[in-house]
Structure 1
Amino acid sequence: MDYDELQSLLSDTDLTAAEAHGMAVAMISVKPNLTVETWLAELSDDAQALPTQQEHLTGWFCLIQKQLNSDAFEFNPLLPDDEEELVNRLMALKQWCQGFLYGLGRVYQQPIRTKDAQEILKDMTEFTRLDVNAEEGEEEEQAYAEISEYLRSAVFVLKDELSSNT
């Protein structure tokens, strides 16, 4: 999976690759058997506006579904490569969290009851407010890596807690 590849597939939408991936992850986490058509409808008001990309986007969706439904824990949030400037990676991390929260809101209509899930969603909401203009340095790189790993783990916690309540 490549961030830039998904970004180019979404060029006809207002979404970034991070937002679209976060949205798909949330939706699949809550509804493991979600159809790709449901996700595609969220990507664009006019699902027919993505005719040439639809096959590739379907492949992406199926891969995300496979990763999340596997016991191998292969999932990672889709973010730009580490060679990308920190400001761009931080922006994508914010967008991934925004997409995740949006996707969750589209498919999960019940109160969040567990304390762990509430804390994770509170943290994700805070991540949407990250200062992307932070100076680049070893400390900031470490913080970015820690947040990325936290999100990876958090998705599995939320998947376990929220998919059993739908």
Structure 2
Amino acid sequence: MALNYPELADQWEDDKCFQSPSALHGWLTGFLSAGARLTTDSWLQEAADYLEIEAVTEGLHPLLVGFYADVVDTLGAEDMAYQVLLPDDEEADVDEQVECLAQWSKGFLDGLGASGKITGRPDKDVMEVLQDLDAFSQAQVDDVNDPENVQLLNELAEHARVAALTVFYAYNKPQQPPAGATQKTLH
């Protein structure tokens, strides 16, 4: 399921969700990137808590289930298909898109912390991208008429995407065979 920002935003508005789809996407990405996983029920409760709603409605339930599946699938995809969830040009002005990127970045850091999986000091590459995301969480557009805003937004969004994948690959290592296990050789 590809995430559809307008559909999500409409449902978020109907359910009076406090956080944006971008913020929740960042939170879930950070949580999963740390190596944590959730059951469906746990995910729905975490999402409701983060969105600051009392309960997940019938309209929101399938979107959140698909949301989780999409983030898990794209983060771990060999083709690196993962994308930061932002409204596109037809849905939002560049200043709103930058605000959503800032919300995504803050959400990522919140989710990483909520996972409880990161202990000790992260390696240099991870630390660097986390510092970048912290800076992105405060991004804003100074001059809405600057023609370079769109290019800068695209560069920041790509950097955030690569940052998420960097953290994901650092904390989600492929399973290794048990020590002493032999591999069969095909002849």
**CA deviations over 1:82-122 (Å, ceiling 9, x no partner):** 23211110110000001111111000341332011111011
The offset of 1:36, in angstroms, is 3.4
Say which of 105, 113, 119 aligns to 1:105: 113
Unaligned ranges ≥5, structure 1: none
Contact 2:141-2:149 within 8 A present in 1 as well: no
Q: 1:67 to 1:134 in 2, by over 3 A?
A: same
Q: 1:113 to 1:31 in 2, by over 3 A?
A: closer
Report which stretch shifted further, 17-26 or 41-50.
Answer: 41-50
Specify the alignment match of 1:140 in structure 2: 149
Specify the alignment match of 2:132 in structure 1: 123
What aligned pairs does 1:20-39 form with structure 2 within 5 A after superposition? 20-31=24-35, 33-39=37-43
Aligned residues: 164
Unaligned ranges ≥5, structure 2: 174-187
**CA deviations over 1:100-150 (Å, ceiling 9, x no partner):** 111110003413320111110111111111123433333222111100111
Specify the alignment match of 2:9 in structure 1: 7
**CA–CA distance in structure 2, aligned partners of residues 99 and 38 of structure 1:** 18
TM-score calculated relative to the size of structure 2: 0.79
Q: Does 1:154 align with 2:156?
A: no
The offset of 1:48, in angstroms, is 6.4
Amino acid at match of 1:71: E
TM-score calculated relative to the size of structure 1: 0.88
Contact 2:12-2:20 within 8 A present in 1 as well: yes
Amino acid at match of 1:160: Y
**CA–CA distance in structure 1, aligned partners of residues 21 and 143 of structure 2:** 22
Amino acid at match of 1:51: T
Q: 1:133 to 1:3 in 2, by over 3 A?
A: farther
Secondary structure of the 1:10 match is helix
The offset of 1:32, in angstroms, is 6.0
Contact 1:24-1:39 within 8 A present in 2 as well: no
Cα RMSD, aligned residues only:
2.0
Q: Which structure has the greater CA radius of gyration?
A: 2
**CA–CA distance in structure 1, aligned partners of residues 40 and 106 of structure 2:** 20
Bigger fraction of residues in helix = 1
**CA–CA distance in structure 2, aligned partners of residues 117 and 68 of structure 1:** 16
Say which of 53, 60, 71 aligns to 1:64: 71
**Between the two proteins, what is the percent identity of the paired residues?**
27
**CA deviations over 1:69-89 (Å, ceiling 9, x no partner):** 211111100001023211110
